[in-house]
Amino acid sequence: MFERRLSVTTRFATLSRSLIAASVLMTALAFGTATRAEPAQFKRGQVVDFATSQQPGSIVIVTKDRALYYILGDAKAVKYKVATAKRGFEWSGTNAVSAKVKWPDWRPPATMRKRRPELPAFMAGGPENPLGARAIYLGSTIYRIHGTNEPASIGKAASSGCIRMHNADVSELFQHVKMGAKVTVV
C-alpha cells in the first residue's frame, strides 16, 4: 500500500516538473531566448539540409526513411539512423518530450507480454535492457525514443512502436533535447 502511494506521489512530482519545464521552454521559444545547438556540438549524427517550419530543438521522425532529425534551425538538422515500428505497429502524430531517463528500467506492456510470454515483467536498466542507455518519453504514450541492446535492428522496421537508436546516438540526442520539445512522427 505504501509503495503504491509513493508511486503516485512520485508520478505527480514528475508530471509537475515536466509541465513546468514545458512552460519554461515554450516561453523561451516564444520570446526567442531558447539556446540553439551548434552543428559542431554533434559528433554522432550527420548535419544535413532540412527545410522545415519546426522550431529549433524539435524532432521530426520520418519513418519511411528510418531517420530522426533534430532541428537546428536555418534549414539544418542533425540526422540519425533509427529503427521504426514493424508492420502492424506503425503510428504517426505529434507529442512532446515528457521525461528523459538514463539507463531506464523496462516494464513490457501487458499486450507485449501476451504476444511474448517469455518476457519478464520487469528488467532493471543496464546493457542487456532493450531500452538501452537512454530513453526519451513521448507525452503520456507508451512510446519512447530509446537506445537498444540490438544494434543490428537500426535501419529496419523492428520495434513495437518505439523509435530505436544506437546507444551512442541516443546519448548524444539526450544531451541536447529539452523537456517539452515537440516530436513529430510522419
> So which residues are the catalytic ones?
146, 162
Grid cell of 160 as nine digits: 513495437
Residues 72-81, buried b or exposed e (16+ Cβ, 10 A)? beeebbbbbb
User: Alpha carbon 156 to chain centroid distance?
Assistant: 17
∠ CA 152-158-164, nearest 5°, is: 70
The C-alpha atoms of residue 117 and residue 34 are separated, in whole angstroms, by: 46
DSSP H helices, the chain, are: 2-30, 110-115, 167-176
73: left (phi over 0), alpha (psi -120 to 50) or beta: left
